[in-house]
Amino acid sequence: MFAALYAELHRLARRELARNGAGVTLGVTTLLHEAYLDMSGREHVAFPDRARFMGYASRVMRGIIIDYARRRQAVKRGGHFSITSIETGHGEALADSRELTRVGEALDELTTLEPALAEIVDLKFFCGFSLPEIAAMRGVSERTVQRDWEKARLYLHDVLCLR
Amino acid sequence: MSPLSRERWLALSPHLDAALDVAIGERRSYLAKLRLTDPVLADDLEQLLARREGLTRDGFLAHGLGFEPPDQGLAGQRIGAYTLRSLMGQGGMGSVWLADRSDGRFAGTAAVKLLNMSLIGGAGGERFTREGQILATLDHPNVARLLDAGVTAAAQPYLVLEHVDGAHIDQYCEAHGLGLSARLNLFRAVLDAVAHAHAQLIVHRDIKPSNVLVTGDGRVKLLDFGIAKLLDTAAPSAALTVEGGRALTPEYAAPEQMTGGPITTATDVYALGVLLYMLLGGRHPAGHGTTPADLVRATVDVDPPRLSSVVRDARSRRALRGDLDNIVARALKKNPSERYPSVESFAEDLRRYLADEPVSARPDTLAYRGAKFVRRHTVGVAAAAALLVLAAGLVVFHTTRVTAERDRAVHEARKAEAISGLLERLLTEADPFSQRTSTEPTVRAVLEAGAARIEQELDGQPALQAELMSVMGRIYGRLGTFDRAQPLLDKALALHRQAGLDDQPGLAQVLNDLGVVRRETGDLAAAGPLLVEAVAIRRQVLGPGDPAVAVSLVELARVHADSGEPERAEPMLREALAIRRSTLGDAHQETATSLSELALLLWRRGDTDGAEPLFRDALAITRARLGEHHPDVATSVNNLGLIALDRADYSGAESSFREALALRRRTLGDAHPDLAPTLNNLCHALRFQDRYPEALAAVNEAIRIIEQSLGNQHASIATYWMNAGRVHVAAGDGLSAEPVLRAALALRQRDFPDSDWRVAAVRSLLGAALGLQRRYREAEDHLVSAVGVLTVTAGPAGREAAAARGFLAALYETQGRADLAAPYRK
């Protein structure tokens, strides 16, 4: 199951990157929706619901993004405008793949404590879903998601900046 | 506060939930109160809350990956003949700068786009520059000019565009409180600009409000013409240009941009349709707050609500209803070839509307629904022709409405509208086969109300009456409610024959549908001639290679197959398959239906190897076209189960049948006769695994369903009774087997002579049931008779023959007559 999803997301991400090279992009959220549409149409792949799929897929996506950042770092050349990340394209911020890796590790840690909080970070930070979208996906109030997001951020800040 | 330990975090977590919910103004008193009982907790929370403010202020993790603060550092840099002055915006494609002409030859400002692209250099850079120069030739007062395009020495691709100071068109309309005709006139200026570009073979590909600006003096300016194409051209991968590239902006993307189809001027027509919809309806056709997945689905699959239905105010609704509804709907067709063939024709319709002349866009409800229904409608009872005829009939109605007879036709038109509305609901709601999602079929009540209405309201219009009755009869047939279908179809046929309607295709349709209903209710003798006539009329009127001929051929073939004459059915099925392959293509649903029909016939004749690849091809087509929740998928899955059964893969067969059954229950409900064959097959798969109680439960459910829908004298129920008996026999329960088998025998003897293998097969089982009760004398009579008949009959009788011989041998052996048993053991 995981392997299939990883392969699927990777395929979509690669395609997206190719397009992104041309400044054309649908972004990670659309990517995940697409992956869901693709995979839910397939035999033997049954997710109980979209929310769980998205939660799961966003974790996979995080891995892909960090891998990608690492690889890209390795081949980076000079120039003002390097290619954008697979994100919807504000340029790229956490250019430093080491920093991304640390966020990933902190998230892994948070997953063992409060998996729901970690998932929000995957969805929002790595995949670009908005808080209202996440709330709708989970069928909870925006207020709840907002609170969880703030908690997750506090935790990550604690791990990343204070330790 | 030091870093939190895991334990401390877990302890704090629930309190943090509560604290985060406290309003800022009440926080002090909340913390003070907490401090009384747990000062450490209160301190920690206070620090965390303070830190939260800081994180929010700094935007920690707030912008998602890839956020980069706008780079102001490029100000003052020279790009071509321009000097960057200030950053105007930053987006997916790159950043946009306000720039001044710096060579002193012309005064003035421009917008410079710096594109986020890989270092395209080399040939890619040249192509980018060349394409840019082509776009730069686009010269129209409503198009913002592309002044220059190129790649800097540092390999930075850039575009220099005419700088337009204006508002997005939708915001402009709102801010100025523009009325309907002012909005339309503004929109026509947009069309004019797009038409001009199309004449130069330049497609915009990304029309949306933010690319359509209106300046302070009310002039429309389109931005970014052809930029999307330019970007694709410069893309390193050739595949991108071949595929046409993805939409830049999903909200305005046409279906073909979502699905990777070819991008043409029709793509712009669609985006213009979305724009007009928003300008007039005040919302996106897909509604508010749509998620990307819903958006993809809405764009590709779902018809947007009629424009007039989305506005609240009754006056606007009246203004939009009718022509503007139709105009927008035509621009928004899923199929590019059904949209306006050009932007000019779109503009022409708007001009006609404003001049109060009849427009070319037709009300799409019925014609479109009809076509759509036909597209989705797949299994045998297809009624493509009737719907097309019907659609044509109503289009005539509506056309008269928009021409000179307006006033006089008002009454008639209203009637037609009511009927078309009714039919629209019928077609989309009542037919479970027309729905992709797995909701229960409802609305029998709607059907019934509709039937009454056809009779009352259309009295004196036999042509329309006949057509509508035909459609309703067919829908009833599809719902398995044959007793309601038949009178409607009989009436339709009578109308055709008596009223002398000159409507041969319509007549053929009624004959076809009635033939199907007769066959399905077991009246094979009546079904045959009806279908023969349907085939003949269709061949003559539509030509021998018409898909409608294939439909009736398949139905007729089924009559032959049901009458035990597969050799007559096979050539008809092959002809139907050939027609469909040549007219509809190899991936069409009707082709799939033909494939599985033929496969089933081959399978029935024992040709498993010939049948299996046909079944698999059919399933692949069906799944790809209709998704998982379509009854046809269930049919194909069921058929694969039959193959597995043949290969003695009983658990494989069982899971196929269970899957098919679950699908059918979801789409057809629990009482539909189509459940019965699958239940019956499941019974076999379970019996072969010696799971007799489960097998019995399955076949008994099938019997109940058949009795309810067809009564207990229907020919097909004999099969189910026989199979129930078979399970009892296999379980060694001769006493329970006997009554059902006797009932089955009586029914078979009613329909067939004693020399028929179908009678003999029941006798064989009855003999076994009697043998199990030690009633050897009676058992021997039945078995000897059965073996006699079955041994000389070919085809499916072979299996039954082997069983009968086995029963007879066992019978003799139990009686100690091994010498008599021996010949049957061979």
Residue B437 pLDDT: 35
The structure's pTM equals 0.38
Distance CA B133, CA B678 (A): 65
Residue B160 has what DSSP assignment? E
Q: By the CB < 8 Å criterion, does A23 face chain B?
A: yes
* Residue among B480, B400, B500 at smallest CA distance from B669: B480
User: Do B786 and B761 touch, CB atoms closer than 8 A?
Assistant: yes
- For the annotated catalytic residues of B, the residue numbers are 206
Q: How far is CA B202 from the centre of its chain?
A: 33
Residue B532 pLDDT: 96
Contacts of B71 in chain A (CB under 8 A): 80, 91
Residue B259 pLDDT: 65
Shortest CA gap A95–chain B (Å): 8
The token pair at B583 is 């007219």
Domain boundaries defined on chain B: 6-58, 81-163, 166-361, 366-584, 656-825
Residue type, A162: L
Distance CA B300, CA B323 (A): 24
What are the strands of the beta sheet with B78-79, ordered from one edge?
Answer: B78-79, B82-91, B94-101, B109-115, B157-162, B146-151
The token pair at A4 is 């299939």
Contacts of B250 in chain A (CB under 8 A): 26, 30
Any idea how long chain A is? Answer: 163
Residue B214 pLDDT: 92
For chain A, report the end-to-end CA distance as a whole number of angstroms: 36
How far, in Å, are A18, B112, B229, B235, B292 from residue B124 at the CA level? 14, 20, 14, 7, 32
Interchain contact, B116 vs A80, CB within 8 Å: no
User: Residue B460 CB: number of other CB atoms within 10 A?
Assistant: 7
**ipTM here:** 0.73
Residue B593 pLDDT: 78
The yes/no answer on whether domain B656-825 falls in CATH 1.25.40.10 is yes
Q: Is A2 exposed, middle or buried (0-12, 13-18, 19+ CB in 10 A)?
A: exposed
Shortest CA gap A3–chain B (Å): 23
Q: How far is CA B520 from the centre of its chain?
A: 27
> SS3 of B177, please?
coil
- What kind of fold does domain B366-584 have according to CATH? 1.25.40
Taking only the tens place, the pLDDT of each residue in A73-124 is: 544 333 222 222 233 232 333 345 667 778 888 888 898 888 889 988 888 8
Q: By the CB < 8 Å criterion, does A111 face chain B?
A: no
Residue B373 pLDDT: 32
Q: Is A88 exposed, middle or buried (0-12, 13-18, 19+ CB in 10 A)?
A: buried
Interchain contact, A22 vs B156, CB within 8 Å: no
Q: Same CATH topology for B366-584 and B656-825? A: yes
Which of B65, B116, B118, B249 is the best mutation test for A, with the most CBs of A within 10 A?
Answer: B65
CATH number for the domain formed by residue range(s) B81-163: 3.30.200.20
Distance CA B429, CA B449 (A): 14
User: Residue A49 CB: number of other CB atoms within 10 A?
Assistant: 11
Distance CA B63, CA B427 (A): 47
How far, in Å, are B170, B318, B411, B484 from residue B315 at the CA level? 20, 5, 22, 43
Q: Which of A34, A80, A154 sits opposite B55 (nearest CB)?
A: A154
**Which residues in chain B come in under a pLDDT of 50?**
66-71, 91-92, 118-121, 234-248, 364-446
Interchain contact, B3 vs A150, CB within 8 Å: no
Distance CA B272, CA B314 (A): 25
Helix (H) or strand (E) holding B375: helix B365-376
If you write DSSP's letter for every residue of B771-815 in order, what string do you get?
HHTT-HHHHHHHHHHHHHHHHT--TTHHHHHHHHHHHHHHHHHHT
- What kind of fold does domain B166-361 have according to CATH? Transferase(Phosphotransferase); domain 1 (1.10.510)
